[in-house]
Structure 1
Amino acid sequence: MAEQVREKPFILHFLTTEKHFSPFDANMASDAGYDSIFTYNNVTLDEITSLVQDAIFSRGPRGVWRTGIFIGGRDMDLAMEMMGKAKKTMFPPFQVSLFADPSGAFTTGAALSAYVFSICRDKLVTNMKGKRVVVFGATGPVGGCASIMCAKEGADVRLVAHSNVEKTAQLAEKYSATYDVTLSCVDGTSDAKKAAIIADAEILLCCASAGVRVISTEMLKNAKGLLIAADVNAVPPSGIEGLDAMSDALPIKGAEWALGLGALAIGSRKYNLQKKMFQMMLDSETSVELDFLSAYDVARKLI
């Protein structure tokens, strides 16, 4: 009797620029179905080629598409550079799946942006084209991703400079050129300036650091044109005063004319999105490449 051929296990190589790999991402990959997860810490850009070559040449035609590389870390731009270098290292038939999601920022930004899009469409019966979107925490990876995704929908996106206007303006210019969008920078270096920015906004995204109150009820009181406010900070105090972490498009306390998207409501969508993307790598019988723009495409389909 012919010996039965055993399928090769699903292997994920987890690369991070940090001292430690993310337990959250490791849990997600394991629960999605990976049989083995191997981790590589403190990875630098110039090490990507050798690591990828080691991963692609050892498993044969069927094993290669049952192999994935996950790129973590904390830097959006570096993760994209690493992914680009990994792509250039591979060639048919030696191509494994790639998924970049540093600090979960790509899937968080995509889930947030798709959530806002769905509220515009389903509750406000409109779209994002021309909507004035202001992003606090835009120099971080979640805010940067969300800014680009909203701009792709045709929104008028403004990156709020909390401390360094020049740095934020340079980032807006860089992302505009790299991703073929139009982003601008606005000066939010004082409470009065932040209040003026919010007063002119239709959509407010708060993507600042966890546990930091960025926007007060006082700043919201004159924002009569505000339609949606979203906060990704689940650690008390909330980034936006009056916006409950569980809020699923409910009125904001103190600014009841606007719909609030809370951190945990965004987080549940992020969880489902990241799980789906890991499953896409497992289910495909060919290699797939997943970055923050493809994350947004998937998030749009999930809604």
Structure 2
Amino acid sequence: MKRILLHLDTDPQPSSFDAISAIDGGVEQLLSYGNVTPVNVVSLVQGAIFTRSPNDLQNTAIFIGGSDIDAAQTLLERVRETFFGPMRVSVMMDASGCNTTASAAVVCAGRHLKLSESSAAVFGGTGPVGRRVARILMSSGCRVKVVSRSLDRARAACAAIDSGSKLLQPVAMSSPEDLHTVAEGVDVVVAAGAAGVKFCSLKALQASSSVKVAIDLNAVPPLGIEGIESGDKAREVGRIVCYGALGVGGLKMRLHHHVIDQLFETNEQVFDAETTFAAAGNLR
């Protein structure tokens, strides 16, 4: 029986990147749909779960993508609501590579530090990727500063991630002069902002005596941390170990393929930020 993956994209044109990644992950038959919404997804899911017996449903899976991460998250929730009893298939949500990228970044940081004994600052922490980086770090026992230009937005992001966690701290950085305060006592800095947003320079981070790892997830110049190159992979610059977007990207792609393969082990799995990070444990 063939492994069939329903590729559900919230954008008008389904992502060719996601389609190729699925095939490279071992999918035998790929069915791609664009403009998928919480309304029209129901019939697509029902078509997936009613055409095979419950014993065979592990051979069908769903991938949710698109450029709008919040829309994809809403779609994931609607897909899960459509399942009932044994009539379900495994699902992976990775719109814009949000969960695999965030997981790979945290794995890279964990190669150099014990996260449960460390602290981090996530620049662009109010964005969808930044929130996931912060959430995974927090789940690993790391103390996390969620950094934004606006303190109110940083507070809202912390509340959205986990309103009761004492490991999250909202922080505002409205000018380069604020960097010293933000970086004080921080072991890891992750830049997860939008393309073209520069947060600081590597030289400025070196002025902090605590920063040991710096990760920039933006591959489009100007990079979020000036001085880090997109291809950096554990490059040591003084006492700071540096990773660029492409340096993290190799692990991100291996993780993506690994999770695609795992989708077909059972019909009950849901891969979001935490479960995707857990799947990365075998790739460290």
- If the length of structure 1 is used for normalisation, what is the TM-score? 0.86
| Cα distance in 2 between the residues matched to 1:146 and 1:181 | 16
Matches within 5 A, 1:192-207: 192-207=177-192
Change in 2 beyond 3 A, CA 1:293/1:264 = same
Asked whether 1:46 is paired with 2:39, we answer: yes
Q: Post-superposition, which runs of at least 4 consecutive aligned residues in structure 1 deviate over 4 A?
A: none
| Count of residue pairs brought into register by the alignment | 284
1:229 Cα shift?
A: 0.7
**2:262 is aligned with 1:296:** no
- Per the alignment, residue 48 of structure 2 pairs with 55
Residue 257 of structure 2 aligns with an amino acid whose one-letter code is K
TM-superposed deviation, 1:249: 2.0
Residue 217 of structure 1, CA deviation: 4.0
Question: What's the CA shift string for 1:158-196, capped at 9, x where partnerless?
Answer: 11112x332221121121139x67422111111111343
- In 1, Cα distance between equivalents of 2:77 and 2:271: 11
Q: Which amino acid aligns with 1:105?
A: C
Alpha-carbon contact 2:255-2:279 (below 8 Å) kept: yes
Structure 1 match to 2:227: 242
Letter in structure 2 aligned against 1:30: I
1:145 matched residue in structure 2: 132
Can you give the 5+ residue segments of structure 2 that lack an aligned partner in the other structure? none
* SS of equivalent to 1:46: coil
Residue identity in the other structure for 1:293 = E
Matched, 1:134 2:121: yes
Report the 3-state secondary structure (helix = DSSP H, G, I; strand = E; otherwise coil) of the residue aligned with 1:237.
coil
285 and 151 in structure 1: CA distance in 2 versus 1, 3 angstrom threshold:
closer
Inter-partner Cα distance in structure 2 for 1:54 and 1:16 = 17
CA distance in 1, matches of 2:38, 2:177: 42
**Displacement of 1:43 after TM fit?**
2.0
CA–CA separation in structure 1 for the residues paired with 2:105 and 2:206: 24
* Relative contact order higher in (CA < 8 Å, ≥ 6 apart): 2
SS at match of 1:249: strand
C-alpha root-mean-square deviation of aligned residues, in Å?
A: 2.1
The share of aligned pairs that are identical, in percent, is 30
Report the Cα distance in structure 2 between the residues aligned to 1:55 and 1:107, rounded to whole angstroms: 25
> 2: CA distance between counterparts of 1:114 and 1:16?
27
CA contact 1:176–1:182 (8 Å) conserved in 2: no
Alignment partner, residue 256 of structure 2: 274
Moved more, 149-158 or 88-97: 88-97
TM-superposed deviation, 1:279? 0.8
Match in the other structure for 2:245:
263
Map 1:33-112 onto structure 2 (within 5 A).
33-112=26-105
2:272 counterpart letter in structure 1: D
- Give the distance between the partners of 1:22 and 1:184, measured in 2 at CA: 35
Tell me the equivalent position of 1:177: 163
- Asked if 1 retains the 8 angstrom alpha-carbon contact of 2:103 and 2:276, the reply is yes
Equivalent-residue separation in structure 1 for 2:26 and 2:128 (angstroms):
27
SS in 1 for 2:14: coil
Aligned counterpart, 1:222? 207
Gaps of 5+ in 1: 1-6, 121-126
Say if 2:68 and 2:95, in contact at 8 Å, map to a contact too. Answer: yes
User: Quick check: 1:15–1:43 contact (8 Å CA) kept in 2?
Assistant: yes
Shift of 1:49: 2.8
**Partners of 1:293 and 1:74 in 2: how far apart?**
20
Amino acid at match of 1:57: F
Q: Which residue of structure 2 aligns with residue 154 of structure 1?
A: 141
Deviation at 1:245, TM superposition (A): 2.4
- Given that 2:202 and 2:228 are in contact with CA atoms closer than 8 Å, whether structure 1 keeps it comes out as no
More displaced 10-residue stretch of structure 1: 164-173 or 71-80 = 71-80
Which protein has the larger Cα radius of gyration, Structure 1 or Structure 2? 1
SS at match of 2:225: coil
C-alpha contact 2:125 2:157 (8 A) present in aligned 1: no
CA distance in 2, matches of 1:99, 1:65: 13
> Are the aligned partners of 1:199 and 1:222 in contact in 2 as well (CA < 8 Å)?
no
